[in-house]
Amino acid sequence: MISFVPLATIDPPAVEQLLDRAFGADRHGRTAYRIREGMRPVDGLSFAALEDDALVGTIQCWPVRFAGADGRDVALAMVGPVAVEPARQRDGIGRMLMERALAAAESSGAARALMLIGDPEYYGRFFGFTAERTAGWHVPGPVERHRLLARGDDVPAGEGTIGPRIAALA
Ligand SMILES: CC(C)(COP(=O)(O)OP(=O)(O)OC[C@H]1O[C@@H](n2cnc3c(N)ncnc32)[C@H](O)[C@@H]1OP(=O)(O)O)[C@@H](O)C(=O)NCCC(=O)NCCS
């Protein structure tokens, strides 16, 4: 039986160890980590999956922003990583974590502007993310353009830089 709890209730080292097992310990240099550098996950959009009290999955969402070349400043939530314990992958836990975070984002309004870096076959097929509006986005590191995905009515198109939403620290 899988249950879901706010990620903030889980011991942070246990979350880090699960992420290491799912992605490898070299994950920290990835562009997705640089985009949200210095940020804390958004509590209301970040969840853990537990099975008999054991941590089997996590999803985190982060406050980021689009700084448009034309002066626009648009708040977005960056979704991910989604991670499932390797031995428990392909059993629907990842999909349930995404559904949980997306439902919370719908309730809070954050779903109007979501982005992530990920596999379009997964995030497009199941969750409606596309690269349609991200072609002009600059990110702080290498990215395969077809993996820079977004979803929501307020997602900005055009030239701009995606980075941490520093004001969210205040
Ligand atoms: C990707 C991940 C989160 C998916 O979670 P999961 O619990 O294993 O996946 P689910 O069981 O919910 O998968 C549902 C469907 O997605 C498919 N799927 C899973 N990963 C996929 C991928 N990378 N590309 C395409 N389809 C994928 C599954 O085949 C399944 O489809 P089906 O129901 O038609 O068989 C998990 O496998 C994982 O942690 N992987 C390592 C870390 C990672 O790559 N995270 C994603 C990047 S942020």
Give 66-123 as a 3 state SS string. EEECCCCEEEEEEEEEEEECHHHCCCCHHHHHHHHHHHHHHHHCHHHCEEEECCHHHH
pLDDT beyond 50 at 85: yes
| Cα–Cα distance for residue pair 79/117, rounded to 1 Å | 8
pLDDT beyond 90 at 65: yes
pLDDT beyond 60 at 58: yes
111 CB within 6 A, ligand 1:
no
Q: Which atom of ligand 1 is nearest to the CA of 57?
A: 39
* Token pair 């992958």 in the structure block, residue: 89
Phi-psi region of 166 (alpha: psi -120 to 50; beta: other; left: phi over 0): alpha
Q: Which two tokens stand for residue 67?
A: 């700084």
Instruction: Report the mean per-residue pLDDT for the chain.
Output: 96
| Cα–Cα distance for residue pair 42/145, rounded to 1 Å | 25
As a whole number, mean pLDDT of residues 28-44 equals: 96
| Cα–Cα distance for residue pair 79/32, rounded to 1 Å | 10
Q: Which atom of ligand 1 is nearest to the CA of 89?
A: 8
Q: Best of 17, 36, 89 to mutate for ligand 1, by most ligand atoms within 8 A of CB? A: 89
Residue 137: pLDDT band (50, 70, 90) is: very high
Q: Which atom of ligand 1 is nearest to the CA of 90?
A: 11
What pLDDT does 167 receive? 63
What pLDDT does 168 receive? 47
What pLDDT does 75 receive? 97
CB 150 within 8 A of CB 22: no
| Cα–Cα distance for residue pair 62/43, rounded to 1 Å | 9
Q: How far is the CA of 142 from the centre of ligand 1 (A)?
A: 23
24 CB within 6 A, ligand 1:
no
112 CB within 6 A, ligand 1:
no
pLDDT beyond 50 at 18: yes
Q: How far is the CA of 91 from the centre of ligand 1 (A)?
A: 9
What pLDDT does 166 receive? 83
